[in-house]
Amino acid sequence: MPNDLPKSTGLSIDEEYVVSSTGALSLKNIPNKMVVVGGGVIGLEMASVYARLGTEVTVVQFTDRCCPFVDKEITLAFQKILKKQGIKFLFEHAVENGVNNKEKGVTVNLKNLKTGVVTPQDCDVALISIGRHAFTGGLQLEKAGLDADERGVLKTNAHW
């Protein structure tokens, strides 16, 4: 995962306190509190794992629900399951000027996109799970008659 996070986050991945999903797999200790920035599949998988290990997890998502690219009915049912695991959700929020205090933890300043109010959220680890996309470079898709969009996702027709 590239370390080219939006400048407004104020955070940079160090794979110890501010981690990517790769870094989340190799943490030395189970954190007491974790903020997961991004409510996509990878972020929610890591959130679920750590919640089951006893971590207090809060997922921050820019949109009004997790996995906004998935059918809304399925997403809402999935959110319900995750809430039963103890995961908290903050929808329509963005990270603004977070601070990595290293061994003292991370302060993630969360902006409510509806009200504009910024609230600090302290945690031991911040998992940044945004910006992942398909890597289809070098697959010679054009030789197979396939076309990918700007994010590397294969374009499909009604017959997939």
144 CB contacts (<8 Å, ≥6 apart)? none
C-alpha 78/C-alpha 139 separation (Å) is 33
For range 72-100, the mean pLDDT: 94
Token reading at 50 = 């750590």
**Residues 140 and 122 both lie in one domain:** no
Q: Which domain holds residue 145?
A: 133-160
For all residues of the chain together, what is the average pLDDT? 89
Identify whether 59 is part of a domain: yes
In this predicted structure, the answer to whether residue 81 has a pLDDT above a threshold of 90 is: yes
Condensed to tens digits (0 to 9), the pLDDT of residues 140-159 reads: 888 888 888 776 777 777 88
In this predicted structure, the answer to whether residue 73 has a pLDDT above a threshold of 90 is: yes
Amino acid occupying residue 9: T
pLDDT of residue 141: 84
54 CB contacts (<8 Å, ≥6 apart)? 30
Tokens 């890597």, residue?
A: 135
Q: What is the CATH number of the domain that holds 101?
A: 3.50.50.60
Identify whether 2 is part of a domain: no
Beta strand extents in 87-158 (DSSP E only): 88-91, 93-95, 99-100, 106-112, 118-123, 125-128
**Residues 75 and 140 both lie in one domain:** no
Stretch (H or E) spanning 79: helix 72-84
**Structural domain tally of the chain?**
2
Q: How many CB atoms lie within 10 A of CB 70?
A: 14
Identify whether 1 is part of a domain: no
In this predicted structure, the answer to whether residue 131 has a pLDDT above a threshold of 80 is: no
pTM above 0.85, yes or no: no
